[in-house]
Amino acid sequence: MTRFAYFCGHEQFQPEELVRHAVIAEEAGFDMVEVSEHFHPWVDDLGASGFAFATIAAMAQATERVEFVTGVTTPLWRFHPAVVAQAAATLDRLSGGRFNLGVGTGENLNEGPLGFRFPAYAERAARMSEALDIMRRLLDGEKLTYDGDFYVTDRAKLYSPPVHSLPILMAAGGPKSAALAGRKAEGVITSVKDPADTFARVIEPAKAAAAEAGKDAPTVLASRWSIHARDEDEAWSNLGAWRGLRAPGRLEAVDPKDLRERADEMPRSEILGKYSIVAEASDYVDVYAPLITDVHADIVAIQTSSSDQGAIIRMLGSEVLPELRALG
């Protein structure tokens, strides 16, 4: 049975608003809340950038049922992987076993401002491989001495361990990251533009790598961006804090001002064409149904931006989730 997550974006809303959205999402019937983790937002004029681990702790205290997953944090520079494991275990305890750890190789927007060099993909993947080993072993209770190419621990142990077998999910947009997720994580997180392409380039490689490693098939969390609007002007207004996400050079940029300026120099239609524009409940069903039927996701995350986020979450719960649940 497919589960459904509501996406809470730190790059758009202040943390106190996101806590309120998580409460509404639980009331609306969502199974999970996916929470982004950024140091800088995507634009400087409308963005926010609260500390995700603190926000999730507050969400956990304000809710009773929904699970949480970071979507995603980077355990490679700002945070040593052992510290991310410690944060994950703490959040699991505070939520009563409702936390899942989502990780990815990141963007310079979050690492460069603190003086870290943001390397090419090969090094990021190698770092992630080590980080996944360290986090998994610590979360499983090991006292870990580790001497890798990038990270070292000396008899490190989590003395406040998680209260359930805490899964790690890794973000992947192509076959290399998908295979790494399949080998070393319990799940894969992917953002879907073309469902058939995602299934072929992400889902199948992740499952094949897991099978080759003798592991269970990975949990698949698939998301898709939508903008709630009835015309282009409303769509552009509601896109707001996310327009830099589709600007050129987004992985390498340090200053969200640069991404905002690049996005605003582009034709609006070019930026908006990278998002699904939805106006009715039936539009949401059409956008997210392929994540169930074609991507075969275990968890479907609804990422949407609107002028009244609380009202949209409630509408999703009452009019969209029942239709999507009927699909499997």
Rounded to two decimals, what is the model's pTM?
A: 0.98
Please report the pLDDT score of residue 261 as a whole number: 96
Please report the pLDDT score of residue 197 as a whole number: 98
HSE at residue 24, side-chain half, CA atoms within 13 A, is: 20
Q: Has 234 been annotated as catalytic?
A: no
**Residues written for the chain:** 328
The residue type found at 186 is E
* Number of domains composing the chain: 1
Give yes or no for a contact between 288 and 302, defined as CB atoms under 8 angstroms apart.
yes
- Indicate which CATH number applies to the domain containing 51: 3.20.20.30
Q: Is the peptide bond before 72 cis (omega within 30 degrees of 0)?
A: yes
Give yes or no for a contact between 274 and 244, defined as CB atoms under 8 angstroms apart.
no
Q: Render the burial of 44-69: b for 16+ CB within 10 Å, e for the rest.
A: bebbbbbebbebbbbbbeebeebbbb
What is the 3-state composition of the chain as percent helix, strand, coil, each rounded to the nearest 5? Answer: 45, 20, 35
Q: Which two tokens stand for residue 82?
A: 């052992």
Please report the pLDDT score of residue 328 as a whole number: 87
Alpha carbon of 256 to those of 11, 53, 110, 247, 277: distances in Å? 11, 22, 10, 10, 24
Mean pLDDT per 10-residue segment, the chain (328 residues):
98 98 98 98 96 98 98 98 98 98 97 97 98 98 98 98 98 98 98 98 98 98 98 96 94 96 95 96 98 98 98 98 96
* Alpha carbons 76 and 145: distance in angstroms, whole number: 18
Give yes or no for a contact between 19 and 54, defined as CB atoms under 8 angstroms apart.
no
Alpha carbon of 232 to those of 8, 13, 155: distances in Å? 24, 22, 56
* Alpha carbons 2 and 326: distance in angstroms, whole number: 10
The residue type found at 60 is A
20 contact partners, CB below 8 Å, separation of at least 6: 310
The residue type found at 183 is R
| Domain around 147 | 3-325
Alpha carbon of 162 to those of 85, 90, 104, 141, 225: distances in Å? 9, 7, 21, 9, 31
Exactly one of 37, 107, 111, 130 is catalytic; which is it?
Answer: 107
Q: Has 107 been annotated as catalytic?
A: yes
Exactly one of 11, 26, 34, 38 is catalytic; which is it?
Answer: 38
Please report the pLDDT score of residue 204 as a whole number: 98
- List the one residue out of 52, 63, 73, 67 whose CA is nearest residue 21: 63
